[in-house]
Amino acid sequence: MSRRTRHNCLKISLLLLLSAWASAAEDEGDFSCHVSYNGLKYDLTKIKGQQVVKRTRETPPSTMIDTVVFDLCEGLQPDEGVDEKDQCPSGTRACLTKTNRKEGSDDRIVAVIPLASSPLTDVQYSELSSPKGLSVSFKGSTYPPPNGDDPIPQTFNVNLICDPDAVDLEFSSYDGRDMWVEWRTSAGCGFGGPGEPPETHPSEDTDKDEKSVGSGIGYFFLLLFLALIGYFGLGAYYNYSTYGASGLDLIPHRDFWREVPYMLRDVVSHLCSAVRPHSASRGGYIAV
């Protein structure tokens, strides 16, 4: 084998090793709360931290309480005040606990189901259209059903509904396999897409409308002021150049402006007399 051939084989081997290492690193990497999907970006770090959502089911003579504790960005920390058997393993991302409550008896934990574990290597995304948002699905481990059949693979699904002004978390459903949670939050609003208008709040739109109205009134008075300046300036120039006027005689239509105060006084007097209540009549007699 020639030196050149061996050199090429060495380069190909190195490239294969690098690609295999990169693929393994990507597969073993943990879930990032910065998501890019379908041309949009989502920042889930806004909602990082432990979240709790519950639902209550009446099962007479007792009540079943389903509690889901999850953290999208980090693994859950063990609760020091709870027995290890009554909580999910350390590092679990989403944990479902079923508690049976009966009057006169202590609460009894009947099931602890890890819905998603950390590190997360199987995460799927889908875009929500109406209402807009992002759906995130985490594949978890298996859990045996109550009837003793084959273990069922668990899935934790979160529908992040785009709502900049709300932080509402709702337990949607759980059928023994798929857990669904609906979350109205600003983290469900994608950004950075091509041709996507910037996000605005209703209050910002109202402020813009008020500013536009105020600007329109300001422009009107500005134009009126400039028109008056032009009128008096051109009129004074015309009187000066044509009649050689000076002083108050430079004012265009001076007689009209001299009568304006009296005209305004008459208008105000007429309005006041129209608004002022009439005096009561004197029993039909007219003063002579």
pLDDT tens by residue, 195-237: 444 454 555 555 555 555 667 888 889 999 999 899 889 988 8
Q: What is the pLDDT, as a whole number, of residue 20?
A: 38
- pLDDT band at 158, cuts 50/70/90? very high
CA pair distance 19, 25, nearest whole angstrom: 10
Q: What is the mean pLDDT of residues 142-149?
A: 84
* Annotation: CATH topology of 30-193: Cation-dependent Mannose-6-phosphate Receptor; Chain A (2.70.130)
Q: Are 254 and 260 in contact (CB under 8 A)?
A: no
Out of 5-9, 56-60, 147-151, 187-191, which region has the weakest mean confidence (pLDDT)?
A: 5-9
Q: What is the pLDDT, as a whole number, of residue 198?
A: 42
Most confident among 13-17, 130-134, 194-198 (mean pLDDT): 130-134
Q: What is the pLDDT, as a whole number, of residue 80?
A: 86
Q: Which amino acid is at 64?
A: M
Number of C-beta neighbours around residue 183 at 10 A: 23
Closest CA to 136 of 191, 180, 193: 180
Residues of the chain with CATH 2.70.130.10: 30-193
Q: What is the mean pLDDT of the chain?
A: 80
Q: What is the pTM of this model?
A: 0.56
